[in-house]
């Protein structure tokens, strides 16, 4: 897919106020610093489209971008646990769970994980939550340039095997990416295009 236009549409924390235009939507999410803004900018070939960090917590909003005038890219805030006071039960932030439960036009959520790291409990729990709620998602491994080419696949496969040791029957689709060396750009954009036209 060639990117011909990428426009910022709006930011908000209320799913009901997200754009009403019924375009197919793809959402990007992960822990902060995973490389989400860099990846979005690399995919769209726009340097400052998504803001890159140094400022943790700056994107506590649901950000909509309209791409090629026919789909939405959504930059979601970094997820983490929020504590529900009395029972001290851990849940994900409300607007994130509401977004995934209520946004009917969502085609696929992309969960970003740093390829150098072992599966982290919060990532596993979040993917489990998506699975339980029947939200289609794929995994994006980021920062692949930080590993030697020979170990990139191995590391991703080890991650997916650990995922399978959980309750998963099959692993979700996955993509290996690097914003600095542009690895994975075509695969990811083609995947979006393909599921868009299915
Ligand atoms: P976000 O908080 O998930 O939006 O993460 P950012 O995109 O702001 O990136 C966090 C840090 O990781 C920054 O210092 C980036 O320069 C660095 N980074 C992001 N993507 C890559 C990548 O593909 N390769 C390398 N080497 N560094 C990256």
> pLDDT (tens digit, 9 = 90+) per residue, 108-123?
999 999 999 999 999 9
* Residue the block writes with tokens 């868009």: 196
In short, whether 32's Cβ falls inside 6 Å of ligand 1 is yes
The residue whose CA is least distant from atom 27 of ligand 1 is: 143
10: CB partners within 8 A, 6+ apart? 17, 18, 19, 63, 64
pLDDT score recorded for residue 169: 75
pLDDT value, residue 197? 65
How far apart are alpha carbons 175 and 42 in whole angstroms?
15
Taking only the tens place, the pLDDT of each residue in 45-58 is 988 888 765 444 44
Which of 198, 197, 27, 173 has the alpha carbon at shortest distance from 101?
27
DSSP-assigned beta bridge partners for residue 74: 27, 64
Report pLDDT for 59.
55
Q: What is the pLDDT of residue 174?
A: 96
How many other C-beta atoms are found inside a 10 Å radius of the C-beta of residue 100?
A: 22
12 lines ligand 1 (CB under 6 A): no
> Taking residues 180-189, what's their average pLDDT?
97
Ligand 1 close to Cβ of residue 58 (< 6 A): no
Q: Looking at residues 67-79, what average pLDDT do you find?
A: 93
- For the chain, what percent of residues have pLDDT higher than 70? 90
What number does the ligand 1 atom closest to the CA of 178 have? Answer: 23
Residues 6+ apart with CB under 8 A from 71: 23, 24, 25, 26, 192, 196
6-197 falls under which CATH superfamily? Answer: P-loop containing nucleotide triphosphate hydrolases (3.40.50.300)
| Bridge partner list, 82 | 91
- Structure tokens given for 33: 């610093």
Query: Can you say how many angstroms the Cα of residue 58 is from the centroid of all Cα atoms in its chain?
Result: 17
Q: Residue 17 is inside which H or E element, if any?
A: none
Ligand 1 near 38 CB (within 6 A): yes
Residue-wise pLDDT tens digits, 7-31? 999 998 889 999 999 999 999 999 9
Distance between CA atoms of residues 92 and 112, nearest Å: 16
Average pLDDT, the chain: 89
Pocket of ligand 1 contains residue 146 by CB under 6 Å: yes
pLDDT tier, 85 (very low <50, low <70, confident <90, very high otherwise) = low
Average pLDDT on 172-194 reads 96
59-95 burial code (b ≥16 CB/10 A, e <16): beebbbbbbeeebbbbbbbbbeeeeeeeeeeeebbeb
pLDDT digits (tens, 9 = 90+) for 131-177: 999 999 999 999 999 999 999 999 999 999 888 776 677 889 999 99
**Predicted complex ipTM:** 0.99
């Amino acid at each position: 897919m060639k990117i011909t236009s990428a426009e910022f549409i709006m930011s908000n924390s209320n799913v009901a106020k997200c754009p009403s235009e019924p375009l197919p939507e793809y959402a990007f999410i992960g822990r902060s610093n995973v490389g989400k803004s860099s990846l979005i900018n690399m995919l769209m070939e726009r340097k400052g489209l998504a803001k890159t960090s140094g400022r943790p917590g700056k994107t506590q909003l649901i950000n909509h971008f309209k791409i090629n005038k026919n789909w939405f890219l959504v930059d979601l805030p970094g997820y983490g646990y929020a504590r529900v006071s009395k029972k001290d039960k851990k849940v994900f932030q409300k607007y994130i769970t509401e977004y995934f439960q209520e946004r009917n036009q969502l085609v696929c959520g992309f969960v970003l994980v740093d390829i150098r790291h072992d599966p982290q409990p919060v990532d596993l729990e979040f993917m489990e939550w998506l699975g339980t709620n029947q939200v289609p998602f794929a995994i994006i491994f980021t920062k692949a340039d930080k590993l030697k080419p020979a170990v990139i696949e191995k590391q991703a496969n080890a991650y997916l095997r650990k995922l399978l040791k959980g309750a998963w029957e099959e692993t979700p689709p996955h993509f290996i990416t690097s914003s600095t060396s542009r690895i994975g750009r075509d695969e990811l954009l083609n995947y979006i295009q393909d599921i868009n036209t299915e």
